[in-house]
Amino acid sequence: MSNPYRSFEFVSEAALPTRFGLFTIHGFIDKSNNQEHVALSYGKWEESDVVPIRIHSECLTGDALFSTKCDCGFQLEKALQNIVENGSGVLLYLRQEGRGIGLLNKIKAYSLQDQGYDTVEANEHLGFDADLRDYSICKTMLDTLKVKHVEIMTNNPKKLNALREMGIDVVRRTPIDHGVTDANRNYLKTKTEKLGHTFNKDKLG
């Protein structure tokens, strides 16, 4: 859900060469809590163009430490590959670890999952909602990058609804069913059955 009372600000940008291609990294800050977020842009577009985007919430374990307990790292890589193959696009990287509960609480949730809780039950057992993420800053990010019409790479319909509430024209959704492992199969089933994600169930077995 968007929060109209929070103040977001663009800070700076720089070239960012990656193993996928040459991106530009754009830094933003949520002035209500000093949380920092980034966008990666690739290529050029007109304001009338439909731009492929991915909204990706930070996952240290999956994105940087190569965990197969979730599909986050797989989705991040696939999104960057898709953007480069398309010739243009944007990845919004939001600092919302563990669906908004933070890194250390996520580790606590992982410990509960080791004991048999699913990902939703673990968050709720710790006293959190299943998903605390806020997508408000996406409006500032996309406006700064002059993106008005998007094709969003996601399995999460909440992201579509959040963008539309903020006045972003979501032209279409592209699924990003990528990275099924034995370690994350139950996790993905839970996201599909309890959180409304549209993951292809045939891939989950």
Share of the chain above pLDDT 90, in %: 77
pLDDT of residue 182: 85
List pLDDT tens digits, range 158-169.
899 999 999 999
Is 97 annotated in a binding site? The answer is yes
Q: Is the pLDDT of residue 200 over 70?
A: no
Q: What is the pLDDT of residues 98-145, one digit of tens each?
A: 999 999 999 999 999 999 999 999 999 999 998 999 999 999 999 999
Contacting residues for 116 by C-beta, under 8 A, at least 6 apart: none
46 assigned ligand-binding residue: no
Residue 59 corresponds to which tokens in the numbers above? 């996952």
Ligand-binding annotation for 58, yes or no, is: yes
- Residues 124/135, Cβ–Cβ less than 8 Å: no
- Residues with Cβ within 8 Å of 12's Cβ and at least 6 positions away in sequence, in order, are 26, 27
Show Cβ contacts of residue 86 under 8 Å, excluding neighbours closer than 6 positions.
43, 52
Both structure tokens of 72: 């986050």
> Exposure of 182 by Cβ count < 10 A (0-12 exposed, 13-18 middle, 19+ buried)?
exposed
The token duo for 17 is 């060469």
Q: Residues 16, 33, 141, CA angle at the centre, nearest 5°?
A: 40
pTM: 0.91
> Band of the pLDDT at 181, cuts 50, 70, 90?
confident
Catalytic residue annotation: 131, 133
Per-residue pLDDT at 1: 44
Residue 161's Cβ-count burial label (10 Å; 0-12, 13-18, 19+) is: middle
99 is in an annotated binding site: yes
Give pLDDT tens digits for 55-91. 999 999 999 999 999 999 999 999 999 999 999 999 9
Phi, psi of 98 (to 5 degrees): 65, 40
Tell me how crowded residue 163 is: count the other CB atoms within 10 A of its CB: 22
